[in-house]
Structure 1
């Protein structure tokens, strides 16, 4: 399967024959089996929320406080309440870390929702995060269903919900919103709606620095189509391609203008947070120290997850996925491997790279009928361990998430 849309012959198209009496947006039935997959996702993540609340109580915190006051959450809430250039701190290296490192869409939505609805900023942040997480799970299902059908899509969503760092899908973090926008942008490309893909990509680019990954994927498909059709392509494709990087580039240039260095200002801001492209040099030094002297419990697991991501990406490449999935996932994996930053956060940065789970999901589906009991037992055990570890990570572990 090598087509741009990524739909094999044995998977039915999601678009029924057009009807003049029904609006276009209502002519697209939901993919078969999606409600079951969303129920599994919701059950897993609700269990994770309960565990976080219980651990909060066990350490004397207000129940659920961790959900809105974990690491980056405080910065997003500060921006929502006060705008930019309000919150800053001095790092251990004496560098000034400012809130300009955080992209604006999520705090802007928090401010809007808390203004319109009778909710505090904390409550609005969770409402947006949890709604976006459900939309993201739907998008993940839609993408994988388009390529591999119901069973693989269901297993992929379940695996994604049970990843150790999927706990951030229930926190006031940007990952739920970014994953939702990215997944539906990928689906828009797979269904040949490039203008919509460009719009969603632009919004994703206003959500996280990794928004460049989905923009690169949309641009890659546009270039591929232009070459394949020798430039004879619809204007909507070019419009989508030009729109895709607009969000990410716009915010980077805005920060540059505020700092007085248009092209490098944003990257200077990120450097104060020890986030830069150093081609893995910091990671190599960190791993050397980890093997020689040991480290906190989260670091060895982070190393295992990053190594597994590299292996799964190789398997994904062998599976010959649609170009848009390949470029998107490859860009995210490259960012994790080549960029500096807290090593314990790298599994979180890989969370949007859900196509990495497709080879594992396909293997589980193939072995389902022959070893159903074993598959259920292993998945249940891994899910339980993962949920407890995720709760431990955000409540008890003293390391950046």
Structure 2
């Protein structure tokens, strides 16, 4: 028998086994997927007929073809994803197929817009909702079989629900800080998440850059525009971006810590970062959640020596905040360490493909920052305008000790005219800065060199702006700090101290943020 004939027989055998596996799932599972396939086909047909002038006969024929394509595509995707999930979760293929089948029925929501688009919303909005339900279904299935996803989901849901309840009650029961404030929504339950810097990100998403908005990097507004545009509400889009990014950030953080240490350390790490006093910013329309997700994901792939993937994610991190470019340092440290005890340049030239991945990955990390600087050069003639415009907030390049001196003078001479709120803010910022530095000094020996280097630079850079403003919020994305705390937290008394410190302040800061008081 020829090789071609053998291949044909094997392919036919695989198809028959696939059909047998699908049949073994039972009629209920097949029905769920069929609903999803028909809905997908109907949506495909709608997209075709709205962009082409078809006669009645052609329209009917297009519907039949679209439904067939939708069914074929969804069944193929269902089987392919279930096979992948079965391997990753170490479960049987039939079990994976049955568990995953209901998630595909979420696409029926998109088809509802074709029946009554005026009552239910635009087809684009319903398609976005369907994708969201589909993703939630996938997470639910993964949590059922994968302990890592289950641990992360519990930490995420418990802490987010608690923060949301506190924030909404504060917005309703407690009066807002006196003064004029921007209301990002007429619904006070939504508007609570659009405070302070969120106004800038939403402005950029809606109208583009102008004035001081150029201090804020573009990836987060672009995602808000993408998701919010589909849903018809940028504020809701921003909330979905932040909270979705947080979930995946916690997932990568868990995997990063678990691979380096143990599962119990990973559980404590994601819990500590989720209850940190400024963790309310993870769920607001801020960049904290997105930046946290991108940095820990890039770090995870750096530690796994998947250089190109790490570089791509690092580029997005430096397009989110300027500190993202600092990922180049741990990238370089881990690349050199991969040589073991040999000469440091050997892993870079071991093979052409390896050298290309390393070089490309490393060069990609600053690409996001470079792209934004090039844009500012075109728009303003100043590639560093994102930094220079921060003089509006009294921030400028200065040695790290200058910011400490500024905070000390404000506090020490507070009786000479400074408002009590300013003194309290400076005291909190100084205290959190000392906390970050103290944890680094006390615990850096327990971290890999790349972690310690990144943490050190991530403290120095924001301190080099002549002000400690927002340092408590910057500490939130300083993930090596939470690794140190998680290692120490193996001792019950340390765990109790961390929780007792974090939870009351988290509640207090959430109330302040909700009522337009400055937190960080």
TM range (shorter): 0.7 to 0.9
Q: Distance in 2 between matches of 1:45 and 1:379?
A: 18
Instruction: For CA contacts below 8 A with separation 6 or more, give which structure has more relative contact order.
Output: 1
Q: 2:301 is paired with a residue of what secondary structure?
A: helix
Is the contact made by 1:80 and 1:110 (CA closer than 8 Å) also made in structure 2?
Answer: yes
The answer to whether the aligner puts 1:337 opposite 2:463 as a matched pair is: yes
**1:43 and 1:161, CA in 2 relative to 1: closer, same or farther beyond 3 A?**
same
> In structure 2, which of residues 444, 447, 454 is the aligned counterpart of residue 317 of structure 1?
444
Q: Distance in 2 between matches of 1:382 and 1:41?
A: 19
**1:399 and 1:114, CA in 2 relative to 1: closer, same or farther beyond 3 A?**
closer
User: Which residue of the partner structure matches residue 160 of structure 1?
Assistant: 273
Q: Distance in 1 between matches of 2:518 and 2:165?
A: 22
What RMSD, in angstroms, separates the aligned Cα atoms of the two structures? 2.7
Is the contact made by 1:344 and 1:399 (CA closer than 8 Å) also made in structure 2?
Answer: no
Shift of 1:79: 0.8
The answer to whether the aligner puts 1:255 opposite 2:369 as a matched pair is: no
Q: 1:276 is paired with a residue of what secondary structure?
A: coil
**1:316 and 1:51, CA in 2 relative to 1: closer, same or farther beyond 3 A?**
same
TM alignment of 1:1-400, pairs within 5 A:
28-29=88-89, 32-59=147-174, 62-85=187-210, 88=211, 98-116=212-230, 118-222=231-335, 225=338, 228-230=344-346, 231-233=348-350, 234=354, 235-262=356-383, 264-280=384-400, 281-293=402-414, 295-296=420-421, 297-319=424-446, 321-341=447-467, 343-365=468-490, 367-368=491-492, 378=497, 381-396=500-515, 398-399=517-518
Shift of 1:335: 1.4
**1:385 and 1:298, CA in 2 relative to 1: closer, same or farther beyond 3 A?**
farther
* TM-score when normalising by structure 2: 0.64
Shift of 1:252: 1.9
Q: Mind listing any 5+ residue stretches in structure 2 that lack a counterpart?
A: 1-80, 90-141, 177-186
Shift of 1:282: 3.6
Q: Distance in 1 between matches of 2:217 and 2:505?
A: 29
Q: Distance in 1 between matches of 2:194 and 2:162?
A: 19
Q: 1:103 is paired with a residue of what secondary structure?
A: coil
Q: Distance in 2 between matches of 1:111 and 1:327?
A: 35
**1:57 and 1:152, CA in 2 relative to 1: closer, same or farther beyond 3 A?**
same
Bigger share in helix: 2
User: Which residue of the partner structure matches residue 12 of structure 1?
Assistant: none
**1:50 and 1:178, CA in 2 relative to 1: closer, same or farther beyond 3 A?**
same
Q: Distance in 1 between matches of 2:454 and 2:260?
A: 16
Q: Distance in 1 between matches of 2:393 and 2:170?
A: 29
Q: Distance in 2 between matches of 1:108 and 1:308?
A: 34
Shift of 1:174: 0.7
Q: Distance in 1 between matches of 2:472 and 2:88?
A: 34
Shift of 1:68: 3.1
**1:324 and 1:312, CA in 2 relative to 1: closer, same or farther beyond 3 A?**
same
Q: Distance in 1 between matches of 2:411 and 2:291?
A: 31
**1:216 and 1:24, CA in 2 relative to 1: closer, same or farther beyond 3 A?**
farther
**1:119 and 1:237, CA in 2 relative to 1: closer, same or farther beyond 3 A?**
same
Q: Distance in 1 between matches of 2:86 and 2:461?
A: 38
Moved more, 292-301 or 142-151: 292-301
- Report Cα offsets for 1:105-130 as digits up to 9, x if no partner: 111111111223x3401110101111
Is the contact made by 1:42 and 1:134 (CA closer than 8 Å) also made in structure 2?
Answer: no
* TM-score when normalising by structure 1: 0.82
Is the contact made by 2:252 and 2:300 (CA closer than 8 Å) also made in structure 1?
Answer: yes
Shift of 1:37: 3.8
**1:42 and 1:302, CA in 2 relative to 1: closer, same or farther beyond 3 A?**
farther
Q: Mind listing any 5+ residue stretches in structure 1 that lack a counterpart?
A: 1-20, 89-97, 369-373
**1:377 and 1:315, CA in 2 relative to 1: closer, same or farther beyond 3 A?**
closer
User: Which residue of the partner structure matches residue 10 of structure 1?
Assistant: none
Is the contact made by 2:326 and 2:457 (CA closer than 8 Å) also made in structure 1?
Answer: yes
